[in-house]
């Protein structure tokens, strides 16, 4: 494996941009989060709330009908567009103009949902984060990979990565296969785990924040919302991935003294994003 570039505060401060004093919600950007199915609407709640809390101006979700009230009640700041189907997504249509899309949390694997993803990939030209069931749909339909725009961000956990690139027998082989896949398809791969590594062709970044408290339901859904938020705020895809992964891990480091490893939940990531940002500005929470 090539020596990784460690993602520490120094690397982050080279990339982090403070919001302009005169910015407004239009400039801060509009994100679209697509996901959810019956029983997995929480994934979209977590992802869209994290997206807003990472600084974008507007967030819309595209979800099946059954999630309408859940979303509107859980997060009044988020706007909702619904599919015609009750329990899963069957056709992704919207008349908003988001600057980036995050797709996958809670999406499910229905055949109609797979076709809806195919249709989106055929026409989509804006930056995209692909996670969870959207990754699993791609793994089932690898011939769709060439439809992805250059530098699309994929955020697999180890099982999702295996579905995408096949099994490996060593850490070295895993990294080599991921690097080849990233290069061949011109994609950014966020290999989630301990530690999370970001692969951009032959360049490998290794995150230095985060801990085992993150091993809990929904923390990956939150990461998808955070990276999507940074994309709409005009970060280059590689910088959105790097900053998103770093801030996400930092929330767990900040919260740990209060929550311990066991009681930390995905909502605690969201509620500590503010402190994670503040630590970059040397205000109050400079814990590193
Ligand atoms: N509240 C909600 O609505 C929530 C909704 N969610 C939604 O559910 C959907 C399914 O997503 P999912 O990730 O739970 O299922 P799946 O892809 O089968 O992978 C699970 C298997 O992968 C493995 N594995 C995972 N991490 C690993 C690691 N670090 N290191 C090693 N192995 C690891 C592990 O395999 P094992 O070790 O058991 O063989 C595990 O059993 C998706 O849409 C998601 O967004 C969830 O986000 C939860 C909250
Ligand atoms: N032991 C650990 N140490 C550090 N980070 C972890 C650990 N376990 C999980 N994580 C992080 O938690 C997140 C889990 O994502 P994922 O498996 O997609 O969860 P979910 O699908 O439930 O949202 C990833 O960002 C991963 O890097
Ligand atoms: Mg996940």
Structure tokens at 222: 């939150």
How much is the pLDDT for 282?
75
The answer to whether residue 57 sits within a structural domain is yes
Q: Is 53 in the pocket of ligand 2 (CB under 6 A)?
A: no
Rounded Cα distance between 35 and 139, Å, is: 17
Does residue 79 form part of some domain?
A: yes
**pTM for the whole structure:** 0.97
Tokens encoding 1: 């494996």
Within-domain flag for 112: yes
Is residue 12 in a domain?
Answer: no
Checking if the pLDDT of 280 tops 80, the result is yes
Answer whether 7's CB lies under 8 Å from 205's CB. yes
Tally of domains within the chain: 1
Handedness of CA 130, 198, 173, 252 (dihedral sign): negative
Whether 3 maps to a domain, the answer reads no
**39 pocket-lining for ligand 1 (C-beta < 6 Å):** no
**C-beta of 248 in contact with ligand 1 (< 6 A):** no
Residue 287 lies in a domain: no
Q: How far is the CA of 51 from the centre of ligand 3 (A)?
A: 15
Q: CB neighbours of 26 closer than 8 A, spacing ≥ 6?
A: 57, 58
In a domain, 20, yes or no: no
CATH number at residue 118: 3.40.1190.20
Q: How many angstroms is it from 8 CA to the middle of ligand 3? A: 24
Q: How large a percentage of the chain has pLDDT more than 70?
A: 98
Q: What is the pLDDT of residues 88-120, one digit of tens each?
A: 999 999 999 999 999 999 999 999 999 999 999
Each residue of 140-191: pLDDT tens digit? 999 999 999 999 999 999 999 999 999 999 999 999 999 999 999 999 999 9
Nearest listed ligand to the Cα of residue 161: 1
Residue span of the structural domain in which 64 resides: 25-278
| Nearest CA, atom 17, ligand 1 | 160
Residues surrounding ion ligand 3 at CB below 5 Å: 132, 220
Residues 29-77: tens digit of each pLDDT: 999 999 999 999 999 999 999 999 999 999 999 999 999 999 999 999 9
Residues 229, 251 contacting (CB under 8 angstroms):
no
Q: Residue 252 falls within a domain, yes or no?
A: yes
CB of 214 within 6 A of ligand 2: the answer is yes
Long-range CB pairs of 117-122 (<8 Å, 24+ gap) are 117/92, 117/144, 118/144, 118/147, 119/91, 119/92, 120/34, 120/92, 121/147, 121/148, 122/147
CB 15 near ligand 1, within 6 Å = no
């Amino acid at each position: 494996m090539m020596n990784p570039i460690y993602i520490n505060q120094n690397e982050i401060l080279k990339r982090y941009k403070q919001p302009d004093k005169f910015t407004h919600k239009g400039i801060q950007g509009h994100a679209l989060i697509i996901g959810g199915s019956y029983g997995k609407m929480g994934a979209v709640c977590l992802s869209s709330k994290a997206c807003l809390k990472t600084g974008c101006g507007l967030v819309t979700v595209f979800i099946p009908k059954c999630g309408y009230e859940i979303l509107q009640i859980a997060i009044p700041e988020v706007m909702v567009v619904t599919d015609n189907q009750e329990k899963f997504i069957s056709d992704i249509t919207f008349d908003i103009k988001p600057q980036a899309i995050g797709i996958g949390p809670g999406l499910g694997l229905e055949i109609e949902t797979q076709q809806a993803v195919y249709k989106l990939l055929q026409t989509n030209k804006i930056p995209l984060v692909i996670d969870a069931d959207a990754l699993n749909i791609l793994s089932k339909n690898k011939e769709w990979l060439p439809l992805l725009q250059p530098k699309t961000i994929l955020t697999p956990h180890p099982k999702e990565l295996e579905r995408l690139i096949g099994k490996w027998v060593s850490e070295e082989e895993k990294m080599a296969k991921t690097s080849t896949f990233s290069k061949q398809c011109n994609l950014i791969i966020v290999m989630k785990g301990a530690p999370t590594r970001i692969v951009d062709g032959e360049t490998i970044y290794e995150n230095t924040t985060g801990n085992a408290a993150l091993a809990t339901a929904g923390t990956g859904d939150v990461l998808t919302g955070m990276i999507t938020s940074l994309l709409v705020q005009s970060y280059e895809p590689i910088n959105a991935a790097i900053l998103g992964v770093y801030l996400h891990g930092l929330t767990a480091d900040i919260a740990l003294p209060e929550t311990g490893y066991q009681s930390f939940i995905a909502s605690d990531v969201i509620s500590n994003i503010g402190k994670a940002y503040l630590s970059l500005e040397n205000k109050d929470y400079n814990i590193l």
